Amino acid sequence: MKIKLLSLATLLLGSNLALAQGSMSFRFSEVCLVDPADSCKTSSYLDEYGQQSSWIEIENSSYGTHDLRGCYITNNRKALDKTLSVPERIALMSPIVSGDARTTLTAKQRIVFFTDGHVNRGTLHTNFCLDPEGENFIALFDGNAKTLIDSLTIPQGTLKSGQSFSLVPDNEGKMVWAVTEPDEVTPKAPAVGTGHNNKVAEWKEKDPHGFAMAIISMCIVLGCLALLYIFFHIFGWTLNRMAKLARVKAIRKIHEEAERLATMAKQGRETQGIEYENYVAAIGLAMHEYLGGTHDMESGVLTITPHHTSWNNKEDEMLATPLKQQATTHLSNIKTTNE
Amino acid sequence: MLESTGIMSFIAQKFVDFLSYTGFANLEWGNLIMIAVGAFFIWLAIKKDFEPLLLIPIGLGIILGNIPFKAAGLEIGLYEDNAVLNFFYQGVKLGWYPPLVFLGIGAMTDFSALIANPKLMLIGAAAQFGIFGAYMIALAIGFEPNQAAGIAIIGGADGPTAIFLSSKLAPNLMGAIAVCAYSYMALVPVIQPPLMRLLTTKKERVIKMKPSRSVSETEKILFPIVGLLITTFVVPSGLPLLGMLFFGNLLKESTKTTRLAKTAGSSLNDIVVMLLGLTVGCSTQASEFLTWDTIFIFFLGATAFIIATASGVCFVKIMNLFLSKKNKINPLIGNAGVSAVPMAARISQNIGLEYDSHNYLLMHAMGPNVAGVIGSAVAAGVLLGFLS
């Protein structure tokens, strides 16, 4: 029963983790604020209707394909209030409707939602607008409208119209939020200079002859197999040592037994009733069987304990009535002595 | 009447149409050359007994892939969507045939020789220098780092690993790399012996190695688990290959899943090898294959093999400098560090017997040979991690 419960709990935990892993891999990756009143066309990214508006980019940060459908985006802080019921929460959010293939994001893919307040324009439009001049809060909630996946606050005055707030790697490679100029805004694409082909380019630039690659890789391969070597060398040595110790222990036990038997033999020699030669022969036979491996599994126990039977009972060996001839002879001997 | 209805001209037009679809109408010189190459592979396999299990599917695949046809959306070519061959090709393209082959290898391989004498693992590692030596030469020739890595892995003498890595790093060169890798694996008996003789003295060739100790069940079961943990913790990018290799071996050694191990090592492995060989052969279409790059790849493949063999043999000679007289290793087993299992080990045995008819090296050579399988998978993981 315990095992069944444990298995069930593991399964439930596993399924929960699997669910979480799916939607939790989404995150905001870039936010661009556009002032519709701005006469300068600072952002060249237009929606399907040729209109400019602020937009939010969401990235699938994992290396698997996940669907955003059913999730919610909001710019209302009240949605963080955990006391609200689900319908109350949903009323504060903009749902990402199902049925649009564009919401299925493959590994590292990004999607842009226009925050123009015109949901009638399609799946990629939200029911709220971002304020280009004030503080902006945005949050992404899971399909249950309760689990917060990601949130972001853009302080007032951080961005000018056309600029974006995007996730870029810092010097240590850690992703941080930074302001991006209008000509470096990259909707539906990673920030400039953070593409995936950099590795090859870096190796080509820094290691044109391949020495570094050869040295590092050979060290890793040798190190990996050396670790295996060390483990199995030590393990094999330990096993060998244990086998040797077991042999020494067995030999020591045999010696102890032999000593005990020698003592017994000594005692047996002094004991009347059992002849010394027979005693030694019995011990010899038992030792022979034991060392030759023909003895039974009671290792170390020689089964020659005294065993009384009618064959060796002294009383049984005596006659019930003494022989008459012997008695007469005995009497005549007495008479002769008296005379 | 026939003429009045135009049926004759219709028949003639359709017949001409039909002719335009035949292979004869679409034939190019490249196709003929590749068909001849395919036929040569089949001849090598049947007549010379060079890796028939690999060369027959590849040889026929080359012929199949070079049957000329009109590109009219018939969905028959390897590179055409919805074609049956394209469906089979996904296993190569997406890289799921190689791990399945590794599963079979794991289920068939006995690692006892390696466990009994773990220092032989180092020979398997040293032989991987062939990969990185070829990488440097490929860079010098002018290949990009990712392409150079895909080509250099041929030096591991491991077809599935070569396919796995090249499908990830250099998909456009994969056909040539795969054919090259398998060709050189088949040619191991030709390439390695002269090098082994060149690099060893007669005295070294007759070194008799100490018989290996017996290996306990516990050690055999522990090996795949510990091996998996150590190698994949160090090189997680080698997980698909190493994971399946050790999984197959655990199926074998656990003694509780004999049926699964038997299937993985026989039926499943055979099916995958057939499809893999056929589709790899098919991918060598003349237009893609008959290029200067292919010639360079064949040159680099040979170089990688030579470096790998030489580094394995030389490493044993260096090891012998530090080993006591009774623990000396015969350098003839150094060639087995490349992972052409068990052909490289058989070569060590044969050459050993040539110089001393009582010197049986097969079991000793199996140690570095299976270590080579692990080593080449680790090397592939390292390259994939650095360059993908």
Give every CB contact of residue B340 below 8 A, 6+ residues apart in sequence.
Answer: B157, B158, B185, B188, B369, B372
The reply to whether residue B386 touches residue A218, judged by beta carbons under 8 angstroms, is no
State the Cα torsion A326-A330-A332-A337 to the nearest 10°: 160
pLDDT score at A223 = 93
Contacts of B223 in chain A (CB under 8 A): 232
Best residue of A106, A225, A239, A242 to probe chain B, by most B CBs closer than 10 Å: A225
| Tens-digit pLDDT profile for residues B191-237 | 999 999 999 999 999 999 988 888 889 899 999 999 999 999 999 99
Phi first, then psi: what are they for A161, rounded to 5°? -60, 130
On the 0-12 / 13-18 / 19+ scale of CB atoms within 10 A, A263 is exposed
Q: What is the DSSP letter of A191?
A: P
Return the CA Rg of chain A.
47
Is B384 in contact with B165 (CB distance < 8 Å)? yes
The reply to whether residue A220 touches residue B386, judged by beta carbons under 8 angstroms, is no
Q: Which of B146, B150, B147, B148 is nearest to B138 (CA)?
A: B148
Q: What is the mean pLDDT of chain B?
A: 90
Query: Which candidate from A214, A231, A235 shows the least CB-CB separation from B230?
Result: A231
pLDDT score at A197 = 58
Average the pLDDT over each of A83-97, A109-123, A319-333, B149-163 and give the range with the smallest value: A319-333
Average the pLDDT over each of A169-178, B64-73, B159-168, B201-210 and give the range with the smallest value: A169-178
pLDDT score at B48 = 85
Q: Which of B53, B99, B100 is nearest to B264 (CA)?
A: B100
Residue at A28: amino acid letter: F
The reply to whether residue A221 touches residue B227, judged by beta carbons under 8 angstroms, is no
The Cβ of residue B117 has, within 10 Å, a number of other Cβ atoms equal to 25
Cis omega (within 30 of 0) for bond into B99: no
A215–chain B nearest CA distance, Å: 8
Q: Which of A226, A295, A218 is nearest to A254 (CA)?
A: A295
Three-class SS of residue A192? coil
Contacts of A229 in chain B (CB under 8 A): 118-119, 121-122
Query: Which candidate from A221, A231, A239 shows the least CB-CB separation from B375?
Result: A221
pLDDT score at A275 = 65
Three-class SS of residue B336? helix
Band of pLDDT at residue B124, cut at 50, 70 and 90: very high
| Tens-digit pLDDT profile for residues A261-312 | 888 777 766 765 556 677 788 888 888 877 776 655 555 555 655 666 666 6
The reply to whether residue B374 touches residue A236, judged by beta carbons under 8 angstroms, is no
Residue A87 has pLDDT above 80, yes or no: yes
Task: Average the pLDDT over B28-51 and give the result.
Answer: 90
Contacts of A246 in chain B (CB under 8 A): none
Best residue of A202, A218, A219, A228 to probe chain B, by most B CBs closer than 10 Å: A228
Per-residue tokens: B136: 């440097």
| Tens-digit pLDDT profile for residues A45-75 | 888 888 888 899 999 988 888 888 889 999 9
Contacts of B379 in chain A (CB under 8 A): 217, 221
The reply to whether residue B122 touches residue A210, judged by beta carbons under 8 angstroms, is no
Contacts of B220 in chain A (CB under 8 A): none
Query: Which candidate from A203, A229, A236 shows the least CB-CB separation from B386?
Result: A203
Band of pLDDT at residue B57, cut at 50, 70 and 90: very high
Three-class SS of residue B13? helix
Q: What is the DSSP letter of A116?
A: B
Task: Average the pLDDT over B315-320 and give the result.
Answer: 94
Residue A327 has pLDDT above 70, yes or no: no
Per-residue tokens: B383: 């390259």
Task: Average the pLDDT over A10-26 and give the result.
Answer: 58
Give every CB contact of residue B218 below 8 A, 6+ residues apart in sequence.
Answer: A239
Give the residue carrying structure tokens 């440097």.
Answer: B136
- What per-residue string of b and e applies to A237-247 under the rule 16 or more CB within 10 Å gives b? eebeeeeeeee
- Provide the residue count of chain A: 339
Band of pLDDT at residue B146, cut at 50, 70 and 90: very high
Domain residue spans in chain A? 23-191, 202-302
Q: Which percentage of chain A shows pLDDT scores above 70?
A: 73
Q: A23-191: CATH homologous superfamily? A: Lamin Tail domain (2.60.40.1260)
Is B311 in contact with B130 (CB distance < 8 Å)? yes
Domain residue spans in chain B? 84-387
Q: Where are the alpha helices (DSSP H) in chain A?
A: 2-23, 86-91, 198-206, 211-270, 276-291, 314-317, 324-338
| Tens-digit pLDDT profile for residues A103-134 | 899 888 899 999 988 888 888 899 998 888 88
pLDDT score at A339 = 42
ipTM for this model: 0.89
| Tens-digit pLDDT profile for residues A131-178 | 888 888 999 999 888 889 999 998 888 887 778 888 888 777 788 888
Q: How far is CA B275 from the centre of its chain?
A: 14
Per-residue tokens: A142: 């899971």
Calpha distance B377→B158 (Å, rounded): 9
B67–chain A nearest CA distance, Å: 36
Calpha distance B232→B238 (Å, rounded): 6
On the 0-12 / 13-18 / 19+ scale of CB atoms within 10 A, A177 is middle
Contacts of B371 in chain A (CB under 8 A): 225
Question: pTM of the entire structure?
Answer: 0.75
Best residue of B139, B215, B303, B314 to probe chain A, by most A CBs closer than 10 Å: B139
Containing H/E element for B194? helix B188-199
Return the CA Rg of chain B.
23
Give every CB contact of residue A277 below 8 A, 6+ residues apart in sequence.
Answer: none
Pick B9 or A197 by higher pLDDT. B9
Query: Which candidate from B136, B222, B387 shows the least CB-CB separation from A203?
Result: B387
pLDDT score at B368 = 92
Q: Which of B145, B125, B123 is nearest to B134 (CA)?
A: B145
| Tens-digit pLDDT profile for residues B234-293 | 999 999 999 999 999 999 999 999 999 999 999 999 999 999 999 989 988 887 788 888
A152 bridge partner residues:
A138
